[in-house]
Structure 1
Amino acid sequence: MKSLVLEQKHELSLRDFPQIDREEEVLGPREVRIKLHTVGICGSDVHYYTHGRIGPFVVTEPMILGHEASGTVIEIGDEVTTLAVGDRVCAEPGIPDPNSRATRLGIYNVDPAVRFWATPPVHGILRPTCVHPEAFTFKLPDAVSFAEAAMVEPLAVGVHAATKARVKPGDIGVVMGAGPIGLVTALSALAAGCARVYVTDLAEKKLEIAASLSPAIVPVNVGRETLAERVLAETDGWGADVVWEATGSPKAAAGVFEPLAPGGCVTLIGGQPDPISYDAGAAMVREARVENIFRYAHVFPRCLAMLASGAIDVKPLITRTFAFDDSVAAFERAAEAPPEDVKMQIELPQ
């Protein structure tokens, strides 16, 4: 079974991977076998390719990449009741320990034992088929395409971030960073009730894409103007109710409280490679609430429902699609981080 394999840092290959064939030969009673259709390229995939590690997760042996997936069920286990052969699905890539304390508390995303696709030592799904638990596999509404379904995984981050921030109708929001996660967060914030969302970046092309998503999105090029000054000027000096940090930049994170209104909330999304500092005094005088998110929990069905109804439209974020045979070139392109691209996807042979 040909797979996209990260052999080591800066080295990818498309080749047979007998190990995964052996591991997934037998289908469990509550598992399904999925024929993959579309897989998105995530920033974490690219980071493993360019750096060979993310924090404590180090690639020490060949690993299959990919975790943003949609496809079709081609086999079901004996005890599967909610899915059938032929169902179009997307899959939540993190599998927790069902008996862990975190899972029993409903916060399975922070279960230390969670097994997440394309996170060492767990293989990803840039390959023809995979086996996955029924409980973390979701049937697609008829109105949702395979390409949109492969966007549910990043969208889930944005929806989880909006949920943790406790958005109220009419809130003013700020999203720092116009990458894929920043943009799905902006869309999620609007769907949750924000009246206006300021989106920041240094790349003008990304800001143009952000502005095209909704008239309620206000692009701010922080290379040309000061975010806090713009937000305060347009909110009668009060500030934004919610700020989401989605850049992963220590410099950006250091200024998260500057545009925030008294009593507002800062939600940290962007992964930071090293410890960061922020202005605790600025947080204190605002009595700011600070939230952190790690992936997501319980939001895939919500994402699918919003895609099906049109409450959120992710199609403009899908800017480039590659054939599976061009996967190596796709990752080389993604590693260049072209400003005109938001989400690149790979389609597998059907």
Structure 2
Amino acid sequence: MTTTPHTMKAAVLHAIRDVRIEERPIPPVRPGHVRVRIRTVGVCGSDVHYFTHGRIGPFVVESPIILGHESMGVIEDIGEGVKHLQPGDRVTLEPGYPCRTCECCKSGRYNLCPEMTFMATPPVNGAFVEHLEWPADFVFRVPDSVSDDAAALIEPLAVGVWSVQRGGVKPGDAIVVYGAGPIGCTTLQAAKTAGATTLIAVDLEEYRLDLIRELGATHTINARHEDVLARIREITRRNLPESHSGADVVFETAGNLRTCQQSMLAARPGGVVVLVGLPPNPQVELDLVAAASREVDIRGIFRYANCYPAALRLVEEGRVNLDRMVTHRYPLDQAGEALSFADEFKHVSMKVMVDV
């Protein structure tokens, strides 16, 4: 496809498994915004879900939409009033911006803003494009030592950082991560930086367990072949009776019915369960008596708030490895193939990138 000086290529989802490369106008730059020449974008599980199902809960693809929200690029133009960025800066884009004036925003929980605008969530277009315009206060300069891939993957790391904050992970804690996918990997690494010393990962795929072990897991459990709860209790028993063994904090990142149920039992009495993944059916049967009688705190997370600066510092200081998570890449012209691969080959891949 040949574009004019005023147009760009975009990968547009028209229907389930129907991605087309189209010519779209290059967006102008509004005051307080910047325009970024996108370099690379990570394929997220939510992108794959829109690609394969056309919806996530109440968010339904009713008209053509551009997917992709884990992005980085180079600033090519700035709008009036932008002081902290300039053309040529390598940047990562936080994909959601709020109203900035509601109670949630003013209290620092802007991720709960009722007027949130979030990339690649219907009807908002995302980053599978050559040029993207975005509010400057949600665009962050990337240190020279941080690669393009890692800069794009600051987004899933922000999820991990927020999950660990919500879970209240402390030095010396034992944590369990259900699901050794990209969010499981970033959450486990974030927990390690917070001081957790026993880091247990649970998954069905040996490939992903091997990789998360490289990233810091001290123990891995293959749920196909092992009794997960028995292994967690064995690992965390310490000097306690078996009834009081379990993890201090359990992160459910798989979005699976069975792991949601099991996570309540994997936490020790007085422990915390953080629900990170979203199961396809929101009605999940849980043993609330077991959770309540053991005073297990159940906490949800929704995206993140004020996590990008911390996430960037963790990567810059070498305390989190995002580059190792990248396993496959496709050009923008093959964005549909990238989504298909990410859907069908989880057993041999971790993070698929689209190079723009």
Query: TM-score of the superposition, structure 1-length normalised?
Result: 0.95
Correspondence 1:34-183 to 2 at 5 A: 34-183=36-185
Structure 1 contact 14–328 (Cα < 8 Å) conserved: no
Matched, 1:284 2:292: yes
Deviation sequence 1:238-280 (CA, Å, 0-9, x none): 2110100011111111111222111111000001232212111
Q: 2:236 aligns to what SS in structure 1?
A: coil
**What percent identity do the matched residue pairs reach?**
39
Structure 2 contact 11–333 (Cα < 8 Å) conserved: no
CA RMSD of aligned residues (A): 1.1
Matched, 1:242 2:249: yes
Change in Cα spacing, 1:341 to 1:106, as seen in structure 2 (3 Å) is same
Distance 1:307 1:234 in 2: 29
User: One-letter code of the match for 1:222?
Assistant: A
Distance 2:339 2:265 in 1: 36
How far off is 1:286 after superposition? 1.7
Structure 1 contact 210–217 (Cα < 8 Å) conserved: no
Distance 1:338 1:53 in 2: 20
Distance 1:235 1:145 in 2: 36
Q: Residue 226 of structure 2 aligns with which residue?
A: 225
How far off is 1:326 after superposition? 2.2
Structure 1 consecutive aligned stretches of length 4 or more whose deviation exceeds 3 Å = none
Distance 2:184 2:331 in 1: 26
Q: 2:263 aligns to what SS in structure 1?
A: coil
Structure 1 contact 205–340 (Cα < 8 Å) conserved: yes
Matched, 1:271 2:285: no
Distance 1:179 1:213 in 2: 12
Aligned length: 342
Q: Residue 208 of structure 1 aligns with which residue?
A: 210
How far off is 1:99 after superposition? 1.6
Q: 1:234 aligns to what SS in structure 2?
A: helix
Q: 2:51 aligns to what SS in structure 1?
A: helix
Distance 2:142 2:308 in 1: 11
How far off is 1:90 after superposition? 0.1
Matched, 1:327 2:335: yes
Unaligned runs of 5+ in 2: 1-7
Q: 2:333 aligns to what SS in structure 1?
A: helix
Deviation sequence 1:73-129 (CA, Å, 0-9, x none): 111112111111111000000011112221112111111210100101100111111
User: One-letter code of the match for 1:260?
Assistant: A
Q: Residue 11 of structure 1 aligns with which residue?
A: 18
Structure 2 contact 32–135 (Cα < 8 Å) conserved: yes
